[in-house]
Amino acid sequence: MVGRSTVLLGFYFGAALCPRYVLASPIDFDNQPQRQLTAEEKTNINVYESSNRSVININTKATVATGFFLVESPSEGAGSGIVIDKQGHVLTNFHVIEGAEEIQAVLYDGSSHDASLVGVDPVTDVAVLRVEAPAELLAPVQFGSSNDLKVGQKVFAIGNPFGLERTLTTGIISSLNRSLPTRAGRTIKSIIQTDAAINPGNSGGPLLDSGSLLIGMTTAIASRTGQSSGVGFAIPVGTLGRIVPQLITSGRVVRPDAGITRVYQTERGLLVAALTPDGAAERAGIRGFRVVRESRRQGPFVAEFERVDRSNADLIVGVDNVAIDTVDDFLTAIESKSPGDRVLIGVERQGHRLDVPLTLEAERDD
């Protein structure tokens, strides 16, 4: 019994002698040091606070066939849109609203409004909507320029990935002048490539620079899983500036065509690679790459070969006496005209400068 009591007393006394930790003074949560933001964080915050109200969430409904029945199918968080004026015009991708019978736009304050289709351009995957909302709820984006973008430049994407409204992601411009095929069977040119995280639902949202200016509209990702893989694409604002006014005015785009289908951008100008057969450029005498067929004897056989001769191809350096440095410069100059207009294409040909008169024609339907 003595042994047992001794053990019990020892246990209780041991517990009583364990050290107690007491805070010297309570934490004053109301008087903490002010958070110090880095310059990069301040830029991120400023871009978001300046621009997020310009982004809307687009939801659509469409009727789809299921067996013998037609079923109205909602598509929550279908995509994003960009408010461009106080009249309620909103920019988005054509594929976001394609086939939609009902379109709802959710603004930054959570209010939902009916939206109607103003115009579409499947060739560039661009659409313009009009949202029936009070002007005081509409915060138009500020437009920038895409003519002077640089690879490595920081960019910001705001959108509604997976229906999560007005989400900010950041990255850089990974490349410029990409070409992107569309479901309309055409190719969008001068595309911006970025590594900013872009996921389903981001389509139609803005790509912004550090000054909160719109430089592009996110349109697609390169992914086998349908989720961001670090390769996203945006339509440059220069292209949008040529398309959107026509969509608002007439609901569609009628493009002039110079008949030049492929060029290579160089430090001195645009090297003409391919022309539309019997197109405006070919009729005007513009020269592109030439395919040369040759025969070579290999032992007892004669083999046919083809090679591309670039030596006589024209280098485009101007349109109507205005210098051309980029593909966007050329498209801007041509698409500012109308079919039937006459332009002077300035080219360098075998060391000589020439102005070639060319009559633009309406873009052909493929």
Per-residue pLDDT tens for 127-159?
A: 999 999 999 999 999 999 888 899 999 999 998
Is residue 25 a part of any domain in this protein? no
Given 250, 276, 293, which residue is the final one in a domain? 250
Rounded-to-integer distance, Cα 256 and Cα 335, Å: 6
* Average confidence (pLDDT) over 198-204: 83
Of the pLDDT bands very low, low, confident and very high (cuts 50, 70, 90), residue 16 is: very low
Q: Does residue 92 have a pLDDT over 80?
A: yes
For residues 318 and 229, membership in a common domain is answered with no
pLDDT of 8 higher than 50: no
Q: Of 230, 250, 270, which residue sits at a domain end?
A: 250
Q: Is residue 305 part of a domain?
A: yes
24 occurs within a structural domain: no
| Whether residue 204 sits in one domain with residue 164 | yes
| pLDDT at 23 (0 to 100) | 54
Higher pLDDT: 230 or 353? It is 353
Nearest Cα residue to 53 out of 108, 105, 131: 108
Quick check: is 22 in a domain? no
Q: What pLDDT is attached to residue 6?
A: 42
Do 150 and 102 belong to one domain? no
Residue 62 CB neighbour total at 10 angstroms: 17
Query: Domain containing 76 — which CATH number?
Result: 2.40.10.120
Is 150 in the same domain as 236? yes
The per-residue pLDDT for 164 is 77
Spatial distance between the Cα atoms of 199 and 234, rounded to a whole number of angstroms: 13
Looking at per-residue pLDDT, the higher value among 1 and 347 belongs to 347
pLDDT tier at 89 (50, 70, 90 boundaries)? Answer: very high
3-state secondary structure labels for all residues of 133-178: CCHHHCCCCEECCCCCCCCCCEEEEEECHHHCCCEEEEEEEEEEEE
pLDDT per position as a tens digit, 62-71: 766 555 555 5
pLDDT tens across 305-334, in order?
677 788 899 999 999 999 998 887 898 788
Q: Worst-scoring range by mean pLDDT, 51-55, 188-192, 227-231?
A: 227-231
**Residue 112 clears pLDDT 50, i.e. is over it:** yes
CB count, 10 Å around CB of 341?
Answer: 14
Q: Quote the pLDDT of residue 232.
A: 86
What pLDDT is recorded for position 240?
92
Between 9 and 263, residue with greater pLDDT: 263
Q: Do the domain assignments include residue 155?
A: yes
Predicted pLDDT of residue 72: 53
79 vs 105: CA distance, rounded Å: 10
Give the position of tokens 């910001």.
Answer: 156
User: Do 130 and 194 belong together in one domain?
Assistant: no
Where in the sequence numbering do the catalytic residues fall? 95, 125, 203
pLDDT, position 235: 92
Beta carbons within 10 angstroms of residue 246's beta carbon = 17
What integer is the mean pLDDT of 35-61?
A: 90
For residues 105 and 133, the answer to whether their CB atoms sit within 8 Å is yes
Tell me: do 224 and 275 sit in the same domain.
Answer: no
Please indicate, yes or no, whether residues 286 and 244 belong to a single structural domain of this protein: no
Q: What is the pLDDT of residues 272-308, one digit of tens each?
A: 999 999 999 999 999 999 877 767 777 777 677 677 7
Please state the three-class secondary structure of 294-323 as a single string. EEEEECCEEEEEEEEECCCCCEEEEECCEE
Q: Whole-angstrom Cα distance, residue 193 to residue 179?
A: 10
Given this model, what pLDDT does residue 2 score?
45
- Residue 19 forms part of a structural domain: no
Q: How is residue 341 written in tokens?
A: 């207009």
Residue 17 domain flag: no
Least confident of 4-8, 83-87, 119-123, 265-269: 4-8
Whether residues 231 and 260 share a domain: the answer is no
Tokens of 219: 């349109």
Q: What is the mean pLDDT of residues 163-187?
A: 80
Mean pLDDT of the chain: 83
For residue 16, being part of any structural domain is answered with no
Instruction: With a cut of 60, say whether residue 77 has pLDDT above it.
Output: no
Residues 242 and 263 in one domain: no
Classify 320 in phi/psi space as left (phi over 0), alpha (psi -120 to 50) or beta: left
Number of domains in the chain: 3
pLDDT at residue 45 above 90?
A: yes
Asked if 274 and 337 sit in the same domain, the reply is: yes
Regarding whether 79 and 59 lie in a shared domain, the answer is yes
Q: What is the pLDDT of residue 114?
A: 92
Percent of the chain past pLDDT 90, that is, above it, reads 48
Residues 322 and 349 both lie in one domain:
yes
CATH code, domain with 244: 2.40.10.10
Domain boundary among 137, 159, 191: 137
For residue 322, give the CATH number of its domain: 2.30.42.10
Taking only the tens place, the pLDDT of each residue in 332-354 is: 788 778 899 999 999 999 889 99
pLDDT at 273: 93
- Residue-number span of the structural domain to which 124 is assigned: 50-137
> Tell me, what's the pLDDT at 281?
95
